[in-house]
Amino acid sequence: MKEKEPLINLASYKDKKQQQAERHTEELYTQSLLYLERETNIREKVRAKFIFSKKFSLSLEPAESGSALDTLFRQWLLFDYKTAANKTVFHQFLQVKADGMTETDRMLGALFLTAAWEPVEVLEIDCYENSTIVQNILHKHKEVVVSPFTHEGTLKSGDLAFIRKIPLLSKGMLIGPAFRVKDGEIFRGLLDHYENRSMDRGIAWRGFLKENAARFIAMSL
């Protein structure tokens, strides 16, 4: 029994650190949303709407606050849109809050900066653990991700979806809402587009998703 105690203690320690990282991640995400709403100036938002509409051939005029299209735009505005200063709004948020941030928050912030919407298949939902097992459609990597949205029935087993996540200690964590995809043709179109772009320009998968995922998400809205 004594031989097992160190293993039990190690597992307990990892669980504790995972939960702490999840709390820090959720707090950082919530604070960044507040910054987006309160600190991003109107001129920047107008510029972002123009670029979003032109880049993805989507009109934001009929989008009501809180609608799927409005949510898509706000998530893109926070994480993917480049401001006039050539930085994302989330990057600006980190710079403004830098002096008051802990080392943990700085490390998490760096992970946020590189996170892109990823196309995945949902393999399993564990409501008790509030976690989801997903598989990336390109490299077939399987991963467990936790999410405050899972228990609300956002995703179910067998769904295809775009998710934004960051790796933590033992599990990843979803950032923001997931966007379900209505059929596999959208993912096939995404992969075909990526293959063409990578052959022409040598673009990396993550960079391609940062630039183009919103276009394919919108096809299911």
Q: Which of 147, 208, 142 is nearest to 178 (CA)?
A: 147
Do 83 and 40 reside in the same domain of the chain?
yes
Residue 136 domain boundaries: 116-220
Single pTM value for the model: 0.91
- 162 pairs with which residues across the strands? 119, 179
- In a shared domain, residues 75 and 125: no
Q: Are residues 132 and 64 in the same domain?
A: no
DSSP string, 25-63: HHHHHHHHHHHHHHHS-HHHHHHHHHHHHHHHT---TTP
* Region 62-81 average pLDDT: 92
As to burial, measured by CB atoms within 10 angstroms (0-12 exposed, 13-18 middle, 19+ buried), residue 165 is buried
Is 70 exceeded by the pLDDT of residue 126? yes
**Concatenated DSSP letters for 176-197?**
S--EEES-HHHHHHHHHHHHHH
Q: Are 109 and 161 part of one and the same domain?
A: no
d(C-alpha 114, C-alpha 93), whole Å: 15
pLDDT for 5 equals 62
Which CATH number goes with the domain that contains 208?
2.40.50.140
Percentage helix, strand, coil for the chain under 3-state DSSP, each rounded to 5: 55, 15, 30
Domain boundary among 95, 113, 131: 113
Domains identified in the chain, total number: 2
Q: Where a domain ends, among 84, 113, 142?
A: 113
As a residue count, the chain comes to 221
Residues 109 and 121 in one domain: no
Span 202-213, mean pLDDT? 93
pLDDT at residue 173, as a whole number: 96
User: Which of residues 113, 128, 160 is at a domain's end?
Assistant: 113
If asked whether residues 152 and 189 sit together in one domain, one would say: yes
Instruction: State whether 10 and 106 are in the same domain.
Output: yes
pLDDT category, 201, cuts 50, 70, 90?
confident
pLDDT in tens, 145-174: 998 754 455 788 999 999 999 999 999 999
- Looking at the fold, whether 136 and 96 belong to one and the same domain comes out as no
Structure tokens at 194: 């990526």
Contact 132, 143 (CB under 8 A): no
